[in-house]
Amino acid sequence: MGAAVSRTGGAVVAFAVRGSSSMMNWPRTFNRRPTLVRRQTSFDPNATIEELRDQIQQFWVGFGPQIKGVDVQPVLISAIRGEWVVPESATGRRVILYFHGGGFIAGSPETHRPLVSRLAHAASARALVPQYRLSPEFPFPAALRDAADAYRWLLTQGITPNNIIFAGDGSGGGLALATLLALRNAGLPLPAATVAFSPWADMTLSGWSMLKNRPTDDALSWELLATCARHYLKGASPADPFASPIYGDFKGLPPMMIHAGSLEVLRDDGSRIGERAAAANVNVNVEVYEGMPHLFQGLPELSESKVSITRAAAFIKARTPEVMLRRAAQ
């Protein structure tokens, strides 16, 4: 087990943290000129919850339009609403269960539709995006229960675990990982793999990049994340593995791919998840993209965004079998 970091003057610094020898051998670097992206987006951690939600909503405006050739179908997932995102490229062979970000206080299937549609199109997959309950109205563990229920619902639709991929960004990436822990502890069959973009996996906010990248992260800050954690936890321990999966036992979890930007405060959440997963002999690949901000995958004009989405899609395709499923949207 170990981590290898390779630098060849490219904009992407990727390192593979290997858990077992069967892990896919992904290239570790991309030869392209360094790009420094600053979003100039800031959130006021002292704002009211309504003001914070409005500010976060503006952050997602830059995600661009929904790509063409994508059908969006509203759906009731157990007791919560959600939507199917079905690109023309979808073959019916795989499903991405996508958990949107937003610090557990904001976000929806609508805000993330452009990003999800690009990922689903590239992966030739349908994507199910649940609107899990948000805090402070519904604190921890409401979101976790909704995420687990969404997975169970997929199973009742005749979709087999080996055709389901978890994916998410920010808090949604952390939620995907926490849901894996909960499902494993409950003895349920696990999905084929997980993709996490800039996951927030540590509500103790103890990663070194929380301080080191404070000057370069124009979107997130320690103060903002502490505010979100306070709303979400409502007195629960920030080190609870189901809130902060970085403190969980990763034994027996499926393969993971984690992407983060070098400029963001959450950079080390991703790298530490990689280390924890590798220590548990989980196949994991962590890629840190040099000069990139939080959730740069949502900026479709960036070549690094295209690279990240393409590589995540290839990972998804490689981890799901080529078998036909009956349409779950019916």
Q: What is the pLDDT of residues 93-115, one digit of tens each?
A: 899 999 999 999 999 999 999 99
Q: What angle do CA 306, 59, 218 make, to 5 degrees?
A: 85
Q: What angle do CA 243, 246, 249 make, to 5 degrees?
A: 100
Q: Rounded CA gap, 178 and 3, in Å?
A: 23
Tens digit of each residue's pLDDT (9 = 90 or more) over 199-213: 999 999 999 999 999
Contact 185, 240 (CB under 8 A): no
For residue 253, tell me if it sits in a domain: yes
For residue 72, tell me if it sits in a domain: yes
Range of the domain at 271: 2-319
Give the pLDDT mean for 83-88. 97
The CATH number of the domain where 188 resides is what? 3.40.50.1820
Give the pLDDT mean for 12-37. 39
Q: Rounded CA gap, 314 and 142, in Å?
A: 32
Q: Rounded CA gap, 116 and 167, in Å?
A: 9
* Highest mean pLDDT out of 214-218, 243-247, 317-321: 243-247
pLDDT at 126 (0 to 100): 97
pLDDT at 15 (0 to 100): 52
φ/ψ bin of 311: left (φ > 0), alpha (ψ from -120 to 50), beta (otherwise): alpha
Signed CA dihedral, 86, 92, 97, 98: sign only: negative
Give the pLDDT mean for 84-92. 92
- Could you tell me where the beta strands, DSSP code E, fall in 36-190? 70-77, 80-87, 95-99, 126-130, 164-169
Give the pLDDT mean for 22-43. 44
Give me the percent of the chain exceeding a pLDDT of 90. Answer: 75
What is the number of domains present in the chain?
1
- Could you tell me where the beta strands, DSSP code E, fall in the chain? 2-5, 12-18, 29-30, 70-77, 80-87, 95-99, 126-130, 164-169, 193-197, 256-261, 284-289
For residue 324, tell me if it sits in a domain: no
pLDDT at 29 (0 to 100): 34
For residue 325, tell me if it sits in a domain: no
The pLDDT of residue 37 is above 70: no
pLDDT at 203 (0 to 100): 98
Contact 162, 287 (CB under 8 A): no
pLDDT at 322 (0 to 100): 58
Shortest CA distance to 245 belongs to which of 183, 212, 203, 279?
Answer: 203
Helix (H) or strand (E) holding 147, with range, is helix 142-156
Tens digit of each residue's pLDDT (9 = 90 or more) over 176-200: 999 999 999 999 999 999 999 999 9
pLDDT-based confidence at 328, cuts 50/70/90?
very low
Give the pLDDT mean for 221-242. 96
The pLDDT of residue 65 is above 90: no
The number of residues in the chain equals 330
For residue 330, tell me if it sits in a domain: no
The pLDDT of residue 23 is above 50: no
pLDDT-based confidence at 26, cuts 50/70/90?
very low
By CB atoms closer than 10 A (0-12, 13-18, 19+), residue 93 is middle
Give the pLDDT mean for 219-232. 94
For residue 153, tell me if it sits in a domain: yes
Neighbours of 304 (CB within 10 A): 22
Tens digit of each residue's pLDDT (9 = 90 or more) over 124-152: 999 999 999 999 999 999 999 999 999 99
φ/ψ bin of 103: left (φ > 0), alpha (ψ from -120 to 50), beta (otherwise): left
Tens digit of each residue's pLDDT (9 = 90 or more) over 157-177: 999 999 999 999 999 999 999
For residue 78, tell me if it sits in a domain: yes
For residue 172, tell me if it sits in a domain: yes
DSSP for 299-327?
Answer: -TT-HHHHHHHHHHHHHHHHHS-S-----
